[in-house]
Amino acid sequence: MRIIDMHCDTIGELFALKSQGQPGTLRENKLHIDLLRMKGSRYLLQNFALFVQLGKDGDPWERVCSLHELYEQELRQNSDLIAPVYQFSDIHENERAGKMSALLTVEEGAVCKGELEKLRELYKWGVRMLTLTWNFPNELGWPNFSRGQSHYLPNTTQGLTERGREFVAEMEKLGMIPDVSHLSDAGFYDVLAVTKKPFVASHSNAREICPWVRNMTDDMIRKLAERGGVMGLNFCADFLEEVPEGQKNPGTIAAVVRHAKHIADVGGVSVLGLGSDFDGIDTHEELPGAQSMERLWDAMKQGGFSEEQLDRIFWKNVLRVYEEVL
Listed residue (258, 267, 252, 266) closest to 305, CA to CA? 258
Listed residue (275, 270, 278) closest to 316, CA to CA? 270
Note the pLDDT of residue 147.
67
Low-confidence ranges of the chain (pLDDT < 70): 146-148
Torsion of CA 116, 121, 125, 126, to 10 degrees: 30
At residue 45, what are phi and psi to the nearest 5 degrees?
-155, 140
Note the pLDDT of residue 169.
98
DSSP assigned state of 315:
I
Pairing of strands 177-179, 272-274: unpaired
DSSP assigned state of 111:
G
The Cα-based distances of 253 to 48, 138, 241, 308 in angstroms read 23, 34, 11, 20
Q: Contact at 8 Å (CB) between 6 and 203? A: yes
Q: Contact at 8 Å (CB) between 103 and 326? A: no
Note the pLDDT of residue 150.
79
Q: Contact at 8 Å (CB) between 94 and 43? A: no
